[in-house]
Structure 1
C-alpha cells in the first residue's frame, strides 16, 4: 500500500507507572508494534528506575514510540509540590470535585503550574530528557483554571512538547449521543485557544473516551474511533493486566485486559489496514 495514502495516527496507552500489570501490558504492545505512544504517571506507585529502563529499552527496539508525561492532579494520588491546594486528606481532589472547583474559579493556576512543573522535573530526572508530549490523567489538563497553569508549565519546561486536547471531528448528531465525549469537546475548545495563543502544538483530533463500566466490545469501539480521525489524530487507550495494586487504585480494571487482548490480536492490524491507518 502506498505510504502516502495512509493516515498516521497516535495510539497512546495512558497510565504507565500506575501498576506493574499496566506497565507490563503497555511494554508488550509496544514490542509488538501495536502502540506508538505511552504517557507516564510520575506519581504512580509502579514507577522507578527499573520500570523506566524497561520502557526505554522496549521503545528503543520498536518503531518510533513517543513517551510523554501523564500529568496527574486527581485522587487517589498525592502532589509532588509542597504547598498544593486544595487537598482532600492529603490527596488531590477526586476529579468531579476538581472540575467543580475549576468551574467555580476556586483553583489557583499558580499552584497548578507549580505541581505540573514538579511532575515535569520528575520526568526529566527519570528519563534524562523532557517528555515528547504532555497529557492529563482523567483529562484534568482541560479543566478551567487548571489548563492555564498546565500550559504555562509545559511552555517553560518542555517547549518542544505537544499537548493533548480532547476535541473530536465528528458530526453534531454523533457527539450528542456520547455525553462524556461532548463534555471533552466543550472543555477542549478553550484549551485549544489557550494553547494556540501560547504557541504550543496539540493533536488535531481525539478519540478513545467511552463508558468502560458497560464493558463494550473494544474492537467495535476502535472502529468507531478510527472513523474520520485525521492524520496525526490521537486515540487514547488503557491496556493493562489486573493486579492488586490496580484494584486498589483505579475502578478501570477488567476492561483494561479486554483492550490489551484486542490490540495484541490479529484483528487490530487488519482493522488498521482496512481503514488505511498506520502507526509508523
Structure 2
C-alpha cells in the first residue's frame, strides 16, 4: 500500500514576528509543507525573504485578507458574511482587492503563488469567490491551486458551518475552471488553550485521504508588533506539537508523507 500524501498548511505567515518564526520552525521540521501569506501585514516585507528561501520545502500561497490588515477591512467576519449573502459584495468590487494582493505576493516572492485561500475563509463567500476564480484563471490559467473548506467526514459543527458558507459553491466553480483543489479539509477547532492538540492532530490525520489538507496555526510565544492576536495561546500549543517532534512521529507512525498542492486534482468533494 502506498503512503498517503497529506498537506499540513500553516495559516497567517507574515502576521507578525512570533507567528512567522513559528511557521518557519514547522517548515524546517519537515512537517508543514505549505503556508498562507498575509501580504498586507506591515511585517510581511521583513519576513518574505526567509520564506522565499524555503520555496523548495513548502508551497507558498496567498492568504486573501479582507478583514485584518486591509484598508477595506472595516467589516467584522460576521459583517462580511452578512454583506456577501445579501449581495453587497459584487465581483467587480472584490476583483481589484485580489489583484493587488497577488501583486504584493509576487513582488516579494518573485513568482505566482502555488495556491490561494482566505483569512477566516472569506475567499469562498458570494461575490468574492467568483472574483477569485476569474482573477486566478485569467492570471495563471490552471497553474494556481485553490483551497476549499468542504469536509468529507463529520469533524464538528464549526467545521460543517465553515464548509456550508460557500465551500461547495467554490469547489464547483473550481471544477468548472479546471483548478486543482484539496480532496478533504480538516484542522477546524475552537482554539481553546486546553485542547489536547496532539490528540486532535492524530484524529485529523487518520481521517484524511490522499490529497487532503489540514490547516494549522502555529506560532512562537511572544507579543505582537502588528495587531492583537486572540489565539496566541493556541498557536503556541500547536507549535509545540508541530515543531517539537511529535507531529513528525505521528506522520511516520501513520505512514503519511507530507504532501504538496501538486497531489491535488480537479475532482473536489461530491
TM-score scaled by length of structure 1: 0.86
Give the distance between the partners of 2:245 and 2:179, measured in 1 at CA: 37
Identify if the C-alpha distance between structure 1 residues 238 and 246 changes in structure 2 by more than 3 Å, giving closer, same or farther.
Answer: farther
Per the alignment, do residues 266 and 96 of structure 1 end up closer, same or farther by CA in structure 2, a change over 3 Å counting? same
Kept after mapping to 2: 8 A contact 1:169/1:228: no
Q: Which has the higher contact order (CA 8 A, sep 6+)?
A: 2
Paired position in structure 1 for 2:262: none
The runs of 5 or more residues in structure 1 that have no matched partner are 80-86
State the Cα deviation string for residues 132-153 of structure 1 (Å, max 9, x = none). Answer: 1111110001112221112111
Q: Quote the Cα distance in structure 1 between the aligned partners of 2:163 and 2:44.
A: 31
1:130 aligned residue: 112
Identify the match of residue 229 of structure 1 among 190, 202, 208: 208
SS of the residue corresponding to residue 211 of structure 1 reads coil
- Aligned residue for 2:48? 52
Residue 119 (1) aligns with residue 101 (2): yes
**Would the aligned equivalents of 1:124 and 1:131 in 2 still touch at CA under 8 Å?**
yes
| The one of 181, 184, 203 aligned to 2:162 | 184
The total of aligned residue pairs comes to 257
Task: Name 2:3's counterpart in structure 1.
Answer: 6
1:214 is displaced (CA, Å) by: 5.5
Conserved? CA contact 1:30–1:59, under 8 Å: no
Q: Is 1:152–2:149 an aligned residue pair?
A: no
Query: How many Å apart are 1:247 and its aligned residue?
Result: 8.0
Q: If the length of structure 2 is used for normalisation, what is the TM-score?
A: 0.89
Instruction: Compute the displacement of 1:35 (Å).
Output: 1.0
Range with bigger deviation, 10-19 or 223-232:
223-232
User: Could you report, residue by residue, the CA deviation over 1:47-90 in whole angstroms, capped at 9, with x for unpaired residues?
Assistant: 11x42211122444xxx31111111111x3224xxxxxxx4xxx
Q: Which runs of 5+ in 2 are unaligned?
A: 260-270
1:268 aligns with 2:261: no
Distance in 2 between residues matched to 1:209 and 1:158, nearest whole Å: 29
